[in-house]
Structure 1
Amino acid sequence: MHTDPGPHASDLWGWLDTRDAAAAVRAALAAGTHGSHVLYVAAPDTSSDIPTAELLTRYHPTAEVTAPLSRFAGLYDTSRCARLLGFSPAHRRRTADAGTEDTR
């Protein structure tokens, strides 16, 4: 996958560490929310070794980027998960990212 990111363009190179998936389920069970809620649970970085802005340019050239992207920024908005469940993934693919470097 890492040498050819094309097959994963449809899932926007999203991924989630198994430990974070288990922690998200625990958080959901303990959250005390009512009703049903649709939210994304995904790692904050992509599964690709190619910077996110380059992936978008190559595989989704018509996508509108509306916010600054860190170098390997994940493309799923997980803010609802953090807000409703108090959960944010703890594991990343790489130990360091480019911070808030704008790569647009």
Structure 2
Amino acid sequence: MARYYAFLAFAIVFLLAAIAMPVVAHAERVRDLGSFQSVRSNQLTGYGIVVGLDGSGDDNFAYLTQAMKGVSGRFGLQLPAGVNPALKNAAAVVVTADLPAFAKPGQQIDVT
């Protein structure tokens, strides 16, 4: 019986301590926790095909042929199997640009 009263006393003390403890919820915004130096620009990179080069394009490069087949497929043109187009008038190009922070639609940017 003494164990029962000891357990009961412990339970009452524990419950009183739990009730006496303040329960406070505290919220923080993410932007208040970190510091940000500034908004940064984004670098854009694109891959494309230039056509109409009058014989001065990339001739017989596998990546250009594969790219041309992919582009023509997107436009709904299907090249027959085994056909390897001669691409003397086309060249593969890579373009890059820096999109400044807070750029607006229609804003001009420098492309290299």
Task: Identify whether the pair has TM-score above 0.5, normalized to the shorter chain.
Answer: no
Alignment TM-score, normalising by the size of structure 1:
0.24
Higher share in strand: 2
Alignment TM-score, normalising by the size of structure 2:
0.23
